[in-house]
Chains A and B, each alone.
Chain A
């Protein structure tokens, strides 16, 4: 899919500031669970650099990675080169949205079948990421504004607002992970 980097182009000369030391790894919750370097801020910056310089085609897979971020900003604080990581990712998300990519990553969403249209989630959202679209009669989430904080998920009385699961955080998954670890040690 062709892509314009209207917001990202202002970072073109700044992407080299990342010295790729990898110190952000330790602070990224998503990486700590998945273990894939492509989930780290460094990995995402490498992919963005590749796309902006024409040797990596933008794809839904890459967009999905960029949208997978809880905006905790621990990487911003830990960055040894003081790269404004989350600000940069926010601009990248906007460019992906403009180019028509459908990626959601950790962005919260609403199941229209369960949603009662009470709009509590709109009031609860600190980031003004949710609006009610009267024409579609459903809650629409702004993928750039959403910071995946989970407040809407907690506030929704109908269990309709949800965000992606699968980061190994549930008790069941944790037990499974510990079991696998112990079996590995004894093997």
Chain B
């Protein structure tokens, strides 16, 4: 076992490669850390992976980022850009070591332009903070990942994040107008524009969306925002059969409805919240939550009634509707408490972020949920199916005993089998959490035809391979062995 302290010793790569004084000259002594504990903290995120950084650096502005990247490029030192480290697939884990660039100090909202309906923010601004700033103007930034209280805008763009409202408002890529990016050679470039439409050549800003820090370092973003709806109505329906809920989802989307939220919870999820939170949800195979929002009540009524009728047609029962904010919170409480409920499902079981956010066509939703259960049973793990079905996103988590080596074999098999199925029905590996390390094997199979072009783009923009190396198409084929696992495996 290699102690992190060794990374700092004279024999380690760290001392050979990084001139700490040079870094201090750029960002100041108070913004550099190289204590072993710090290196460990900044080498972890919300995934199963861990790999210590060599040094942690907090830049304050684009000029400092440029200077660090120029220095790193000259010495071929890896640079791993980090927001809050809330990614679930190991995107921010410095698998090849190097400089971890913590962007949280660059957290200024630079401009809110109401006539032109855009805002400019630095990459380290937290999603909820931006929404707090927009609210007084009656506006909101709609991406809303579950981690919005901690996720930074830069991280959201780099992972093309989305959340419960993606069914109506889309993912980050639908909100980005432009950005400033520090390229691998240290150049600062302006990408995109301030307008809603642009047909001026290659859309390089779009290329940066979902690039996971491998093509450039986003230092500033121009985002469009939306007016806050005046009315919101939420509904809940219970289904005895998972297939009935699946059919209802497909028909709601097919019927031309515009839900602002459409969420599914399966029986494992229902059991989890009932068991650990005493929620008293009905013991059915599936619960569907649906919501409509808008400026005119009649329009919201129209949408919600239509969705209710579809649920009734597919034998949805116990349907409740409410415009009241408190009631809406009550109706959504089960879904909201699912995450902690899964963590506490059973002693010794860990809730791991694996195969966590595939997307499949609407018509395959119910079948995917069934498949998840079958694969879990076959591979001796517990998996649940829930998610933003309105945008085709199905979440799961693998509950397993992380200390047992054989359970990691089970998890590896379960993940591979599930993605084989997702691929066979035309789905995609990641809907909103990104690829990083743990989803890379499946991603490489799904995108086999375009991998050579991805490699070519990476080579052209980052010839020395310094920007978040070893991720996406360059990640190892075996995610279990890609890094040390965050759990103690016996």
Q: Do A and B come from one complex?
A: yes
Q: Which B-chain residue is minimally distant from A34 (CB atoms)? A: B30
Is the CB of A65 closer than 8 A to any CB of chain B?
A: yes
CA A80 – CA B37 in complex, angstroms?
A: 24
* B41→A37 contact, CB < 8 A: yes
Which residues of the partner chain B approach A82 to less than 8 Å between Cβ atoms? 340, 343-344
Contact check, A25 vs B84: say whether CB atoms are below 8 A apart.
yes
B486 touching A20, Cβ below 8 Å = yes
Chain B interface, >50% SS class:
loop
- Known contacts: A35-B105, A37-B85, A47-B37. The answer to whether A21 contacts B44 by CB under 8 A is no
Which residues of B are found within 8 Å of A187, using beta-carbon distances? 61
Contact A35 to B4, CB < 8 A, known contacts A20-B46, A49-B486, A82-B343: no
Enumerate chain B residues within 8 angstroms of A176, measured Cβ to Cβ. none
Tell whether A118 is near chain B: CB-to-CB under 8 Å.
no
Q: In the complex, what's the smallest C-beta–C-beta distance from B33 to chain A, in angstroms?
A: 7
A80 touches B42 (CB 8 A): no
Measured between beta carbons, the chain A residues less than 8 angstroms from B226 are none
* Interface residue from A20, A43, A50, A61 paired with B4 (Cβ < 8 Å): A50
Asked if A21 and B1 sit within 8 Å, CB to CB, the answer is no
Q: Across the interface, which residues of A come within 8 angstroms of B44, CB to CB?
A: 20, 46
Cβ B348 vs Cβ A13 within 8 A: yes
What 0/1 readout, one digit per residue, does chain A (77-96) give for beta carbons within 8 Å of chain B?
A: 00111100000000000000
With beta carbons under 8 angstroms apart, the residue of A17, A35, A36 that contacts B38 is: A36
Contact B104 A57 (CB under 8 A): no
Does B461 reach chain A (CB closer than 8 Å)? no
B211 cross-chain contacts in A, Cβ below 8 A:
none
Q: Which residue of A lies closest to B42 (CB)?
A: A37
Interface residue B108 (Cβ < 8 Å from any Cβ of A): yes
CA of A55 to CA of B488 in the docked complex: distance in angstroms?
11
CA distance A111 to B4 in the complex (A): 37
Number of interface residues of A (CB under 8 A): 37
Give chain A residues whose Cβ lies under 8 Å from the Cβ of B486.
16, 20, 49
Q: Which residue of B lies closest to A66 (CB)?
A: B37
Q: From the candidates A46, A49, A185, name the one contacting B108 in the complex (CB within 8 A).
A: A185
The answer to whether the Cβ of B339 comes within 8 Å of any Cβ in the partner chain is yes
| Segment 23-66 of B: residues with Cβ below 8 Å from A | 33, 35-38, 40-42, 44-47, 58, 60-61
Residues from 20 to 73 in A contacting B, C-beta threshold 8 Å: 20-23, 25-26, 35-38, 43, 46-47, 49-50, 53-57, 59, 61-62, 65
Q: Which residues of B111-144 have CB atoms within 8 Å of chain A's CB atoms?
A: 126, 128
Our count of residue pairs bridging A and B at CB distance below 8 angstroms stands at 114
Chain B interface size band reads 35 or more
* Residue from B4, B46, B126, B343 whose CB has the most chain A CB atoms within 10 Å: B343
**Chain A residues closer than 8 Å to B347, beta-carbon distance:** 13
Chain B CB within 8 A of A184 CB: yes
- Other-chain residue from A16, A19, A26, A46 in contact with B40 (beta carbon distance below 8 A): A46
Whether the pair A21, B147 counts as a contact (CB closer than 8 A) is: yes
Contact digits for A167-187, partner B, Cβ 8 Å, 1 yes 0 no? 000000000000001001101
Bound: A61/B33 CA distance, A: 11
Q: Is the CB of A38 within 8 A of B37?
A: yes
B337 to chain A, nearest CB (A): 9
Shortest CB–CB separation between residue B42 and chain A, in angstroms?
6
Q: Is the CB of A22 within 8 A of B38?
A: no
Q: Which residues on A sit within 8 Å (CB–CB) of B487?
A: 16
A43–B41 touching, CB < 8 Å: yes
Query: Once the chains are docked, how many angstroms separate the CA of A59 from the CA of B1?
Result: 19
Asked if B343 and A17 make an inter-chain contact with CB atoms under 8 angstroms apart, the answer reads yes
The residues of A that contact B339 with a CB separation of less than 8 Å are: 19, 21, 80-81
Contact B150 A22 (CB under 8 A): yes
Q: Are A56 and B37 in contact (CB under 8 A)?
A: yes
CB distance from A172 to the nearest CB of B (A): 17
Report how far A60 CA is from B43 CA in the complex, Å.
20
Contact of B60 among A19, A22, A38, A184 (CB under 8 A): A184
Give 10 new A-B contacts, CB below 8 A, not counting A37-B84, A37-B85, A185-B110: A19-B339, A20-B45, A21-B339, A23-B149, A25-B150, A38-B38, A46-B44, A55-B1, A81-B343, A185-B108
- Which A residues are within 8 Å of any B CB, using their own CB? 12-13, 16-17, 19-23, 25-26, 35-38, 43, 46-47, 49-50, 53-57, 59, 61-62, 65, 79-82, 181, 184-185, 187
30 contacts between A and B (CB under 8 A): A12-B488, A16-B402, A16-B486, A17-B350, A20-B45, A21-B86, A21-B150, A22-B46, A22-B84, A22-B86, A23-B150, A25-B149, A26-B150, A35-B58, A35-B104, A37-B84, A38-B38, A47-B37, A50-B40, A55-B1, A55-B4, A56-B36, A59-B35, A61-B37, A62-B37, A81-B343, A81-B344, A82-B340, A82-B343, A185-B110
